[in-house]
Amino acid sequence: QQQVKQSPQSLIVQKGGISIINCAYENTAFDYFPWYQQFPGKGPALLIAIRPDVSEKKEGRFTISFNKSAKQFSLHIMDSQPGDSATYFCAASEETSGSRLTFGEGTQLTVNP
């Protein structure tokens, strides 16, 4: 059972453009939603995370938008740069599962110069 669905699978954006990656979840008990960034040959690293008590969180050029009623959340990358080219994973966890994360399938982002 896929509990976190991520789209698109791949995304190509021009330098300076906005990259948008979407995730939808099924488990209403999820209460923590991180995004991880992975460069080729490396392990994923935490980029930004949100809890459902806020609808938006911004860190620099990266913003998470969260819609609790729709059970969706998205990552927006403003002024996308070639250095942002990587694979992005959304994830979710619930308090009762402790630290376990359920990951989406990943989005491969390419930012053309």
Residues that bind another protein (CB under 8 A): 6, 9, 32, 34, 41-46, 49, 51, 89, 93, 95, 98-101, 103-106
Nearer Cβ to another protein, position 17 or 31?
A: 31
**Comparing C-alpha atoms, which of 106, 103, 98, 107 is closest to residue 33?**
103
Min. distance of Cβ 103 from another protein in angstroms? 4
Triad 1, 56, 53: Cα angle to 5°:
70
Reduced to 3 states (helix: H, G, I; strand: E, B; else coil), residue 77 is strand
Of 74 and 93, nearer to another protein (C-beta) is 93
